[in-house]
A and B are shown apart, each in its own frame.
Chain A
Amino acid sequence: MSANWAEENLQTIRTLMERASVYRRALAPISMMAGGLGLMAAGVAEATNASAAANFAIYWLIVAALTSGVALFLMRGQAARAGEEFWSPPTRRVARAMVPMLLAGLGLGVLEILTPVESRESVRLVALWMILYGGALHAAGFFMRRGLKLLGCAFVLGGLGVLAVQLIASHPPLDDSNAHWLMGAAFGLGNLLYGFYLKMTVQPLDTE
């Protein structure tokens, strides 16, 4: 036996401990909050007759930023109640997995804002956002225990479905006037239902 052997064993222990640390923050309240805000934002946009094509991307990017901020606040609270570090290795892994797809979504939103109003297509943007958000959830699902990968797949399939219907149909059934409600249905209702599903089926953590 040698010191090299001891060092190799320590490295093995470190690797295994890192692999075992699964992201454990409670998703139900975060999903329900995201869903509730999404539905509320869609309702506000419809009630105020916000022009979908003109302000759609900027409006929903602001809603996304607000939702992310509240989600981080909830996660921080959960970590504090559990007496755990907020920016823990599992949290970092989940964030790293989601960031590329979310940044791509942000990029698409910015491109839409820079596009002349007459060339904007809000419904197509919603479909692409659904696909990217689904990809982000699926990637995060590799470091979590619950059916997040399935929800990610549902978003990807939903987004592809919307794109397919819009591209294949001779008269696309959805236009810019439906875009806010489509966002509300996909991101609002989708997250809300998933949150309720988790609430009903998963034993709550003591940090919830």
Chain B
Amino acid sequence: MNPESFQQLDKVIHEKSRMAIMSMLAASTELSFTELRDALNMTDGNVTTHIRTLQKAGYVAVSKTFQDNRPLTTCTLTVPGRKAFGNYVALLEGIVQQAKRGN
């Protein structure tokens, strides 16, 4: 198996919680902060930290609005974020295929 494949994995996505956030956002046009927190069973602080990292990388866009007089924070995957996630998944699939061919 080519060890370079592992080194090519995007370091920003290549973290359990961030990979989970990216996976959920990739399947949905947008998700609220609370939906992400509840679905992934994470704390507010954890979600905030990881979203901030993904935002800094330009992978996630955050918008703040009001719904029924309550603040609503929604997250969406940006175009570069969707592309990076696609590359990440393709790389993982490549690793699996490579291993199968090797067996």
The chain A residues found within 8 Å of chain B, CB to CB, are 1-3, 6-7, 9-10, 12-13, 16-22, 24
Contact between chains at B19 and A12 (CB < 8 Å): yes
Instruction: Say which residue of B23, B92, B99, B100 sits within 8 Å of A17 (CB atoms).
Output: B23
A10 surroundings in chain B (CB, below 8 A): 89, 92-93, 96
Given A12-B20, A13-B92, A20-B24, 20 additional A-B pairs, CB 8 A: A1-B6, A3-B1, A3-B99, A3-B100, A6-B95, A6-B96, A7-B96, A10-B92, A12-B23, A16-B23, A16-B27, A16-B39, A17-B26, A19-B24, A19-B39, A20-B26, A21-B27, A21-B28, A22-B28, A24-B29
Total contacts A-B at CB 8 Å: 52
Q: Does B25 contact A (CB under 8 A)?
A: yes
Interface bits B23-57 vs A (CB < 8 Å: 1, else 0)? 11111110100000001100000000000000000
Interface SS of chain A: helix, strand, loop or mixed?
A: helix
User: Cβ of B98 < 8 Å from any Cβ of A?
Assistant: yes
Q: Is the interface of B mostly helix, strand, loop or mixed?
A: helix
Query: Taking beta carbons and an 8 Å cutoff, which residues of B are in contact with A?
Result: 1, 6, 19-20, 23-29, 31, 39-40, 89, 92-93, 95-96, 98-100
Q: In the assembled complex, how far is the CB of residue B79 from the closest CB belonging to chain A, in whole angstroms?
A: 17
**Nearest chain B residue, comparing its CB with the CB of A4:** B99
A12 CA / B17 CA spacing, docked (Å): 11
Cα(A18)–Cα(B39), bound, Å: 12
With contacts A1-B6, A12-B19, A13-B19 known, is A18 near B96, CB below 8 A? no
Query: Which residues of B sit under 8 angstroms from A19, Cβ to Cβ?
Result: 24, 27, 39
CB-CB under 8 A from B20, the residues of chain A are 12, 16
For the complex formed, measure the closest distance between the CB of A15 and the CB atoms of chain B, giving whole angstroms. Answer: 8
Q: Tell me the nearest residue of chain B to A203, going by C-beta.
A: B67
A9 to B92, Cβ gap below 8 A? yes
The residue from B39, B89, B100 contacting A20, defined by CB atoms under 8 A apart: B39
In the complex, 6 of the A-B residue pairs with CB atoms within 8 angstroms, ordered by the A residue number, are: A3-B96, A12-B20, A13-B19, A18-B27, A19-B39, A24-B29
From B31, B40, B95, contact of A3 by CB (8 A): B95
Q: Top 4 closest A-B pairs, CB basis? A: A3-B99, A17-B27, A16-B23, A20-B24
Contacts of A12 in B (CB 8 A): 19-20, 23
